[in-house]
A and B are shown apart, each in its own frame.
Chain A
Amino acid sequence: MSSCRREPNFKNCRPAARRVIADTAGTDYPLAPMTGLQPSGGSVGGVRFLGARGAYARLLARGAGLLMVTLGLYRFWLMTDVRRFLWSNTEIDGETLEYAGTPLELLIGFLVAVALLVPVYAGFFIAALDLGVFGEMTGAIAFAGLAVLGQYAIYRARRYRLTRTVFRGLRFTQTGSAWVYAFRAVGWWIVTALTFGLAYPFQLASLERYKMRHTRYGTLPGRFAGTGFGLMWRGLPMWLVVMAPLALAVGAFVEVVDWSALTDAVTQTGDDVMGRVEGTNPALGEVVVFAMLMTGLSAVMAALLYPVFQAVVLRWWTSGLRFGAIEARSKLRIRHVYGAYMRFLWWGGLFTIALGVLAIPLLILIGVVAGKLPDSGAGDIAATLIGLGGYVVAALGYSTIYRATVLMSLWQLGAEALQLSGLDLLERVEAAGQASSPLGEGLADALNVGGY
């Protein structure tokens, strides 16, 4: 690498030009070792995450405080800061991503979305006043309409994020119809619900294929190579472990309970419903206890397996990403995802202790305040305000810790587990596409379906 110093115009300096420049400057400059570039392979590279957990946690904590002060208005700025941090610290083949969106765009997108939604909500409100069939259906129609609109917003928001993602001087773009996506997504959700989640892998694969088929990096077309069966094969054991206790509970009800007698007992008038139920169905009590135990077991299993589920989906998803000849392969380890949850439990536990220690003087304060202001109601109000503040601090605190541990780790682990091949293509992709409007983000925010 010493050749670089001799050559004034930096010929042959790659890939370690940066290090050399820093050396000549004589500073202790924290430089990234170029593990992303493997000189032997040339076209094979990895993804690295450069961000420090502490810096991200500070960013989130400060944002949480400002969210509280501004009753949530700061969220556009916090969201942009978060994305700037995550994007700019994600290094693909030695070059970091750039998030080019601004908070004002998000704010404007949100305001436009609100302006569009107000007439919609007003329409539902007026329609709900109409008695008759239509009036009674308003709730269902509104739910269905907002479900479709939510998926529409998710697709448009993805387009906004992609067109604000710049890599090596080129932006990502997304074509395709958000309405087509929205109806597909809602249709898939219905199928998934009807199959008790068994169709979920196929839903993910289908929707991801649609998204990636319409995604481009410059002129380089994306596609998704993952299949529903590929995910199902890994997810099925988890599905069985969670669903089996529930199936047993339902089976027990069907087997033991005398339904006609039970219906009679419940529909008969009179006070002693439970007495009659017990008379006609002596085993009902045991079945209910069994069902509750089984439901509890299912919930515990779901909670324990959730990190595995997340790891499996994340690995399957990232392994299916393709841009032209560039292929991704993920080596994500499940135990690393568990580590992220352990960190959440650890920091969450410390936060709980801190809250508990702080709550004692606050409770004493409430007692003093309430004692000094009898009957006037001011004591009640003060106590309510303190309680409310405590609740908000706790809720925001746990959510911030979750974002700083689990969500951050999922991003980092998902990125760092990636092996990319075909990277020599990156030297000759051409630019294409324009930045899109932030309306999708605004809609997603107004409908509470936003992501990162």
Chain B
Amino acid sequence: MTDASHPMTAGAGIFFDGRVSARRDVRVTLGPRTLQIDDAAGRLLAEWPYDEIESLSAPDTVLRLGRHGNATLERLEIFDPVFAAAVDARATQVDRSGGLQHRQRLAVVGLSVIAVASLLVVAWLGVPALAARIAPLLPVAVERKLGAAVDLQVRNALDTQHAGAAFECGNGAGQAAARAALGRLTGRLETAAALSMPLKFTIVHRKEANAFAIPGGQIYVFEGLIDTARDADELAGVLAHEIGHVAHRDGTRAVLQGAGLSFMFGMLLGDFVGGGAVVLAAKSVLKSSYSRDVEAAADVYGVGLMQKAGGNGAALAAILTRIGGATEPGMKILRDHPDTKARVAVIERLAHGIAGQAMLSPAEWSALRGICKG
């Protein structure tokens, strides 16, 4: 505020010259363009132009002034509120009412909200787009290393009994026929897919009807999925879908997306008490939004692969309907595979009702079903 008409033109203050810590009682005179500080003997200690005076952090009862851009920390303190108002009226940058600061804070809050919104947009669209561009550029060797690291974590998380090698199915001598049947099924799919990296299928002792792919071509199939499948084509349909994830390098994309989200939400946002929950929620919402498109693409790939391999493209729809209808709470397939009905409809449309031939003979299928038994 600039209002030189304020009547009071002189008052008392306390002055520190910024060179020595001595406290001096001074007389402050408000001239036409400058503020003059005189000591008790009438010597001029300092003369500050009004446009260089800034108000500094102080208790509510004190007006603490300094000179803007001054290397030494000269300080003038005024305790008389009437005289303080007179200084405020002349010095352009001094604003005792707090109106200026209030407006600045509003701008800060506004800008912060805009920054948060733009970061969310980047997280929503930018992170998956970036991950999709980067993932295909990674050499297969890097992806395999990544897969090996992820595999360690996955094994630890899945193998709750810590059974080690016994966690995998089909290693026993009595399961040679089952292994052969599985090899035939996956071999047909792998030949049809003709990927640049070899696939590895591992059947594990888990009751849930689920399967997933991790980076590097490793695909985990749960015992529960084989129990749920009514024929070899249904199992093959799910495997073809997972091979789709490998072909699209979705596992690597997911790792890259996770790293991107962790950076944005772990480092830039959410650093306050209770913010951990917000970050977690935002991450899971964003991840499920990514997964919608990814799953749809894998479905399309899976149907195509099944038809190329000579199987029934619609078998995936059949097993999805059954799993989706009988989901237990907390099951991964429900969380990661939204809108089962819509997916089933798309798959059936893509399959054109071509039944194909059975992927395995009945004898092979019944052998395969025993891979986790005995």
- Chain A contacts with B in 389-429, Cβ cutoff 8 A: 391-396, 398-399, 426-429
* A169 with B142: CB separation less than 8 A: no
A130 contact set on B, CB distance < 8 A: 145
B105–A25 CB distance below 8 A: no
- A103→B112 CA distance, assembly (Å): 13
In the assembled complex, which residues on chain A have CB atoms less than 8 Å from the CB atom of B134? none
CA distance A87 to B62 in the complex (A): 14
Q: Does A118 contact B (CB under 8 A)?
A: yes
Contact B12 A394 (CB under 8 A): no
A393 to B73, CA, bound (A): 42
Interface residues of A in 1-49 (CB under 8 A from B): 8-11, 13-14, 17-18, 21-22, 24-25, 27, 29-32
Query: A71 in the interface, Cβ–Cβ < 8 Å?
Result: yes
User: Are A10 and B12 neighbours in the complex by a CB distance under 8 Å?
Assistant: yes
The docked-state distance in angstroms from the alpha carbon of A232 to that of B41 is: 55
Contacts of A428 in B (CB 8 A): 20-22
Is B42 an interface position by the 8 A CB rule? yes
B23 touches A88 (CB 8 A): no
Q: Closest chain A residue to B61 by CB distance?
A: A30
**CB pair A31 B79 closer than 8 Å:** yes
B297 within 8 A of A: no
**Of B27, B38, B61, B145, the contact of A31 (CB 8 Å cutoff):** B61
Please measure, in the bound complex, the distance between the C-alpha atom of A430 and the C-alpha atom of B17, giving whole angstroms: 10
B25 on the A face (CB < 8 A): yes
Q: Which residue of A lies closest to B72 (CB)?
A: A431
Of residues B74, B79, B277, which shows the largest number of chain A Cβ atoms within 10 Å of its Cβ? B79
Contact A95 B23 (CB under 8 A): yes
CA of A168 to CA of B59 in the docked complex: distance in angstroms? 14
- Contact between B269 and A21, CB atoms less than 8 A apart: no
Cβ of A170 within 8 Å of any chain B Cβ, yes or no, is yes
Most chain B Cβ neighbours within 10 Å, of A25, A100, A391: A25
Stretch at the interface among B80-88, B89-97, B184-192: B80-88
Does B140 lie at the interface of the complex (its beta carbon under 8 Å from any beta carbon of A)? no
Pick from A21, A103, A396, A430: contact of B273, CB under 8 Å? A396
Q: Name the CB-closest residue of B to A448.
A: B271
For residue A112, CB closer than 8 A to chain B, the reply is no
Residue A446 at the chain B interface, CB threshold 8 Å: yes
- Known A-B contacts A10-B40, A98-B56, A392-B275; the reply to A117 vs B72 at CB < 8 A is no
**In residues 1-44 of chain B, which contact A (Cβ within 8 Å)?**
11-12, 14, 16-23, 25-27, 38, 40-42
User: Is B129 among interface residues, defined by CB-CB distance under 8 A?
Assistant: no
Interface size for A (C-beta < 8 A) is 79
- Which chain B residue lies CB-closest to A11? B40
Nearest-CB residue, chain B, relative to A70: B112
B16 contacts which chain A residues (CB < 8 A)?
Answer: 168-170
A284 to B282, CA, bound (A): 46
CB proximity of A16 to chain B, nearest CB, Å: 11
Those of B126-169 within 8 Å (CB) of chain A: 142, 145-146, 148-149
Pair B277/A391 contact, Cβ less than 8 Å: yes
Chain B window 314-354, contacts with chain A (Cβ cutoff 8 Å), 1 for yes, 0 for no: 00000000000000000000000010000000000000000
List A contacts of B56 (CB < 8 A): 98, 100
What residues of A have a CB within 8 angstroms of the CB of B270 in the complex?
71-72
Using known A-B contacts A29-B81, A72-B271, determine if residue A13 contacts B277 with beta carbons closer than 8 Å. Answer: no
In the complex, the chain B residue whose C-beta lies closest to that of A384 is B281
Q: Give residues 260-319 of B contacting A (CB, 8 Å).
A: 263, 267-275, 277-278, 281
Knowing A131-B145, A430-B19, say if A71 contacts B275 (CB, 8 Å): yes
Residues of A contacting B26 with CB < 8 Å? 10
User: Does B125 reach chain A (CB closer than 8 Å)?
Assistant: no
Residues 230-262 of A at the B interface (beta carbon under 8 Å): none
CB atoms of A71 and B40 under 8 A apart: no
Q: Are B18 and A77 in contact (CB under 8 A)?
A: no
Name the distance in Å between A423's Cβ and chain B's nearest Cβ: 11
Residue from B17, B23, B57, B338 having most chain A Cβ neighbours under 10 A: B57
A430 touching B20, Cβ below 8 Å:
yes
B245 CB-CB contact with A under 8 Å? no
Q: Which of B81, B268, B273 contacts A399 (CB 8 A)?
A: B273
**A73–B116 contact, CB under 8 A?**
yes
Residue of B nearest to A76 (CB): B108
**Would B274 and A118 count as touching, CB distance under 8 A?**
no
**List of B residues within 8 angstroms of A125 by Cβ:** 259
Interface check B206, CB cutoff 8 A:
no
Beta-carbon contact of A77 and B108 below 8 Å: yes
- A-facing residues in B46-101 (Cβ within 8 Å): 56-59, 61-62, 64, 72-75, 79-83
CB of A50 within 8 A of chain B? Answer: yes
Is B358 part of the contact surface with A, judged by Cβ < 8 Å? no
**Interfacial chain B residues near A114, Cβ < 8 Å:** 267-268
Q: What are 18 sample pairs from A and B whose C-beta atoms fall under 8 A apart?
A: A10-B40, A21-B80, A31-B61, A67-B272, A69-B113, A70-B109, A71-B116, A74-B112, A89-B59, A95-B23, A98-B64, A129-B148, A169-B17, A392-B274, A392-B278, A399-B273, A427-B22, A431-B20
With A131-B145, A168-B22 already in contact, 16 other A-B pairs whose C-beta atoms are closer than 8 Å: A14-B25, A50-B59, A66-B112, A72-B271, A72-B272, A73-B115, A77-B105, A88-B59, A96-B58, A114-B268, A168-B21, A169-B72, A388-B281, A392-B274, A431-B18, A446-B267
